[in-house]
Amino acid sequence: MADNRQFSVEQRAEIERIALRDKVKRQYQRMINDPRRPAIAIDPAIDRWNFVRQNAYQYFKATPKTSLAGFMMGIVVPVTLIVLITRSKMTEFNKVQSGEIKRPRNYLSY
């Protein structure tokens, strides 16, 4: 940086990320436009994405947010579905017992 301005930590981190992104972009463009390149040019962004995808479980950290998401998807959603389906079936059963509606035909039994 040629100028003498002071940057916060977040601003410096953003500037470094932009510089790294530009560097990777220039490297990829050089690789693509090289007349002597091998048959396949591998995109470094795809390599990074594949690495992260393959090693997700090694670097996973249980945080309150991920714990809440796991609890919601693993406990709350199934219990809610069970309660709603049971309540619906019980309502239908009670209406059939009281004669409010006719018993639906069961096509699976004779």
Query: pLDDT digits over 29-43, tens only?
Result: 888 888 887 777 777
Give, rounded to a whole angstrom, the gap between the first and last alpha carbons of the chain: 84
Section 60-72 average pLDDT: 93
Measure the CA angle with vertex 73, ends 72 and 79; round to 5°: 80
The rounded distance, in Å, linking the Cα atoms of 65 and 73 is 12
pLDDT tens profile 6-16: 788 889 999 99
Structure tokens at 89: 């079936």
Q: Is the pLDDT of residue 64 over 90?
A: yes
Instruction: Look at residue 72 in the predicted model and tell me its pLDDT.
Output: 95
- Integer Cα distance of 22 and 45 in angstroms: 12
